Amino acid sequence: MAEARGQWTGYIELRGLYAAVHRGQRGGIGPDTPLVVLRDGAAADGCPRAYRLGLRPGMPRREVLHHVPGAALVDFGEAEYGPAGRALWSACARYSPLVEPAGPDRAFVGLTAPAGVPPREEVVSLLHHAVRAVARAAGVPPAEIEGMAGLARSKLVARAALHAAGERRPVVAVPAGQEAEFLSPLPVEVLWKAPPEAMDRLHALGVKRVGEIAEFGEAALWPHFGPLARDLVRWARGEDGEPVRALWPERAHTWRRAFPEGVGSEALVPALGLAADALSARLQAAGEACRAVRLRLEPAEGVARAGERRLARPQARAESLRQTLLALFRELTAPDAGTPSRTWIALQAQVADLAPAGHRQLDLWGQAGRDEEARRRLAEAVAAGGERFPVRVLRRGMPVTGIELRREHMLHLYDPMRWTPGERATWERAAR
């Protein structure tokens, strides 16, 4: 009889990743100098030596200088963390097809193991490979990065378990059935799914530990939190039904055009329209929409230029993609963009962060509504209607021009009742 297996969730975090990237890209910070990354005036990350000296995330700048004397301070965002983050996620993908990135330095990983037995050794091996992969991507020794992980049957508890992880116990596993007991003595902040204002209200009620939420109960919390009270009690018991989503390797659609002889910037503009049309067709064929649009330009001399735009809502229309690609193109070719060449040899457009497309405007024949078969059916329907109703009552749609035409083009609308100028003249003669 096959051994029963269960689904486990690992929450992987690499402490020191941001600091390692800064050290590798700057090159002027010695290996013995503590490095701290500040974000909005508070510590966001640091190297292992800074943590050993007393650095804690969220520590104000003045306390950083007090606890970590002689530290090199850098600002978050002044380095490119993407390659290191992708190295981490790719290392996780070697162990599981379920990888959900939560940031360049962290990710959820779905793992299977015998029911009731956490796959601790597998997570330890994953951390080892992830640290080495990220160190290579950042150009620093592996000792500059520390791997930690929480392991549980749910995403909520796995991330909360990281609160107890550290140098002596890098992997904290919560056995199945002991989630409520594990969470009970921890501060309420480990319930990371709760909004910040809920934390403030809990503290105002004197609730400091997760176990106190269960003691209050849903009925006592409802006047203060409304429907959120039900979720708070459920989370306090370690119940979380959200699965790990397979978001890495990233799914994307790519369009590329090479220009072996080299072309100027003006010649690339028509290619942007071709890219938008091709990518829009792929998205619509797959029933998907994108939340990110990327553009990469390869010059004849110098380093390639790349940019990305996040969209306010998922898009699949060619016009929206064309406008976004054109805006990216203007940014990458601006005089102050640092591009050493105005001759380009390749253009690559990509749509990523894909999601199922929402509802579409329907017509009588779907995608076939624009071909001759649709026109024949429409003519038959109008003729049948004309036999039953007076011609002055049954009218076809009027042509749309100007602003209305542009609006429908932008919204990708289609009206099967719209006629051609020749058809309109025929109907006008019949009406007279």
Q: How many CB atoms lie within 10 A of CB 120?
A: 16
Distance CA 152, CA 11 (A): 9
Distance CA 276, CA 258 (A): 16
Distance CA 167, CA 153 (A): 23
Q: Which residue did the predictor score with more confidence, 93 or 404?
A: 93
Weakest-pLDDT range from 163-167, 236-240, 272-276: 163-167
Distance CA 290, CA 398 (A): 34
Q: What's the whole-number average pLDDT of the chain? A: 84
What integer is the mean pLDDT of 331-356? 80
> What is the per-residue pLDDT across 318-342, written as a single tens digit (0 to 9) for each?
999 999 999 999 998 887 655 545 7
Domain ranges for the chain: 5-173, 179-236, 252-356, 366-431
Closest CA to 52 of 100, 16, 5, 4: 16
User: Quick one: tokens of 389?
Assistant: 């109703």
Domain 252-356 in the same topology as domain 5-173? no
> What is the per-residue pLDDT across 199-220, written as a single tens digit (0 to 9) for each?
999 999 999 999 999 898 999 9
3-state secondary structure at position 44? strand
Q: Who's near 208: CB < 8 A, 6+ residues apart?
A: 187, 188, 202
User: Quick one: tokens of 245?
Assistant: 């989503």
Q: Which residue did the predictor score with more confidence, 423 or 110?
A: 110
**Residue-level pLDDT at 392:** 54
Considering the domain 5-173 in this protein, what is its CATH number?
3.30.70.270
252-356: what CATH class? alpha beta
Q: What is the DSSP letter of 23?
A: H
What integer is the mean pLDDT of 79-108? 93
> What is the per-residue pLDDT across 6-42, written as a single tens digit (0 to 9) for each?
689 999 999 999 999 999 988 778 888 999 999 999 9
**Residue-level pLDDT at 360:** 55
* Residue 292 pLDDT greater than 60, yes or no: yes
> What is the per-residue pLDDT across 94-111, written as a single tens digit (0 to 9) for each?
999 999 999 999 999 999
Widest pairwise Cα distance in the chain: 93
Q: Which CATH number fits domain 179-236: 3.30.1330.60, 1.10.150.20, 3.40.50.300, 1.20.120.80?
A: 1.10.150.20
